[in-house]
Structure 1
Amino acid sequence: MNKKYSVCLTPDERLFLEGICRKGMHKSRKIRRAQVLLKSDAGLTDEVIASEVNISIPTIERIRKRFCLEELTSALEEKPRSGPPPKVDLRVETEVVALVCSSPPNGYDRWTYELLKREADQRCSKKLSKSTLRSLLKKHHLKPWKKRCGAFRT
């Protein structure tokens, strides 16, 4: 059967893909996509590629199509997935980190989740849940309750 999108790799692209397959330091999906492109370039049929790489024929066709219409990197990488936007944007995140790194209010020796949540709700434009606040602190490796004043960075 004649393929609609045929893969013709340059020597540099071939070396790049072989490096991905050989090193094994990438995600398994990326390695499989690289194997599909290399085997397609070698002239193997979709059925043979599907059995060797353990991937479906429609997926092979999509990988080849993305390589031909876009570029090598887009054929290897995953497309962004749809879904809800992040709960906290960079501006709010920066405000919270700055708050954590500042001194706690008068009368308090250190920050607590409750105190941080109350102050963040007053200062920031968006109300944050305790779990969102906890995730932000974890993301930035901040443990403000471990130090008397300000944040303690691990």
Structure 2
Amino acid sequence: MLKLTGEERAELEGIAKGTRGRQSIAAWKVQRARALLKCDQGEHGPGWPDHRVAAAVEATERSIQNWRKQAVLEGPLSVLQRKERSRPPTPRKLDGEGEAKLVQLACSAPPEGHSRWTLRLLAARLVELEVVDSISYETVRRTLKKTN
């Protein structure tokens, strides 16, 4: 059962309007704030059932159930926060120096027996030259596309 305090309700009403001064608020936050206000079973809240809230804010009943559960367990404002990443982003294979070596290699003459450099040949040569331990041809493609 979700019961909002006056302070929480005021905060959610401000977000549900869609703007804070001159700054606009993301649509997903506005949608969730509106849903929580309609779920409120406190003295100032309408206490609508999930199916009615879902129809009013154009969401699924399952989403409403999840948002209500999170609001009860972690506080209503937690529903308006993005989740932290469970693991940090992986470090880049090629730093600026590695990218420069790749571009230099791609601009050089192709190996004997080949008319041009392929992405796989470039990836293999970067490993041979010990620029990186391992690299996929897709990473080579993305890096070269970025530099053009």
Tell me the TM-score normalized by structure 2: 0.58
Q: Is the 8 A contact 2:13 2:33 kept in 1?
A: yes
Pairs within 5 Å for 1:1-154: 5-11=1-7, 14-15=10-11, 18-19=14-15, 21-23=17-19, 25-26=25-26, 28-41=27-40, 42-46=45-49, 47-77=51-81, 89-90=90-91, 93=92, 95-102=94-101, 104=104, 108=108, 114=119, 116-122=122-128, 123-129=131-137, 131-136=138-143, 142-143=146-147
Per the TM alignment, residue 52 of structure 1 is displaced from its structure 2 partner at its CA by: 1.0
Give the partner amino acid of 2:127.
Answer: D
- Quick check: which has more Rg, 1 or 2? 2
Tell me the TM-score normalized by structure 1: 0.57
Q: Distance in 2 between matches of 1:33 and 1:49?
A: 10
Residues 39-84 of structure 1 deviation map (CA, whole Å, 9 limit, x = unaligned):
22323312431221122333212101111212445423465799xx
Distance 1:134 1:72, change over 3 A: farther
Unmatched runs of 5 consecutive residues or more in structure 2: 110-116
Query: What secondary structure does 1:95 align onto?
Result: coil
Per the TM alignment, residue 8 of structure 1 is displaced from its structure 2 partner at its CA by: 0.9
Distance 1:73 1:12, change over 3 A: closer
Distance 1:127 1:74, change over 3 A: same
Unmatched runs of 5 consecutive residues or more in structure 1: 146-154
**Aligned CA-pair RMSD:** 3.9
